[in-house]
Structure 1
Amino acid sequence: MSNPPRAASALDPAIAARLKRDRDGLFPAVAQSHDTGEVLMVGWMDDEALHRTLTTGRCTYYSRSRQDYWVKGDTSGHIQRVRSVALDCDGDTVLVKVDQVGAACHTGDRTCFDAGDLPVTVPHTAAQ
């Protein structure tokens, strides 16, 4: 995948300096329900998507397949209103706590992580 052409971002330089991006200038963004703690979805952001998220109060992601920005809910009505944004300790992932209106998943489900748990075969005592 080559670096998609994107406009320069107005992201605060102090925030931009803390970010670690992949070779395409992207980093994962985990959307979590602010009140229940439920992980809703994972999307991708670049500096401009993060800037838009921080300044509009609506989650903006970067679509790797369309190579364009998208605001969650603009077409579906299933919007994410931003409550808080945090950068992880390594600077390579953001956690966006949101008020989720409707489904978060493109399948129409509340969360993208409801396809069933995978079997864990490590005995509980071994993990201690």
Structure 2
Amino acid sequence: MTTADLDPMLAARLKRTADGLVPVIVQEATTDAVLMLAWMDDEALRRTLDSGQATYWSRSRQSYWVKGETSGHRQAVREVRLDCDGDTILLKVDQTGAACHTGTTTCFDADLIWEQR
């Protein structure tokens, strides 16, 4: 990971994990559907803010990735919000194609664990 030129006031509000990351909840802007969970460090957040395209830190590959760069399933960012504790980021996006690497619309449609009846 690299050191970012993130706005110092924003950087000061972020509460990162021990490895410098913040979880990111990604939500479809028009439907409010939760699409996925990803991770950002300061540099990924700066790249997202600068480009308007969702950029994340891949923990498995140990590298940055722009969502949809290879698949075409891009996320155009409409809003970036920080929760009240500064430990979670919410991206509201216009999703093109599938959000999940499995090819589904959302990463949260595979296993229903519990549902109120």
TM-score range, shorter chain: over 0.9
Name the % identity. Answer: 62
State TM-score, norm by structure 1: 0.88
- After TM superposition, list the pairs within 5 Å mapping 1:64-103 onto structure 2: 64-103=59-98
- Which secondary structure state, in structure 2, belongs to the residue aligned with residue 17 of structure 1? helix
Return the alpha-carbon distance in structure 2 between the equivalents of residues 37 and 103 of structure 1.
Answer: 15
Indicate yes or no: 2:3 matched with 1:14.
no
CA RMSD of aligned residues (A): 1.2
- Deviations 1:40-78 (Å, cap 9, x if unpaired)? 000000000000111100000000111100000000000
The unaligned stretches of length 5 or more in structure 2 are: none
Indicate yes or no: 2:115 matched with 1:117.
no
The unaligned stretches of length 5 or more in structure 1 are: 1-5
How many aligned positions are there?
A: 117
- Deviations 1:57-115 (Å, cap 9, x if unpaired)? 00000001111000000000000000000000110000000000000000000000001
Candidates 36, 41, 49, aligned match of 1:41: 36
Larger Rg: 1
Return the alpha-carbon distance in structure 2 between the equivalents of residues 119 and 23 of structure 1.
Answer: 31
Moved over 4 A (4+): none
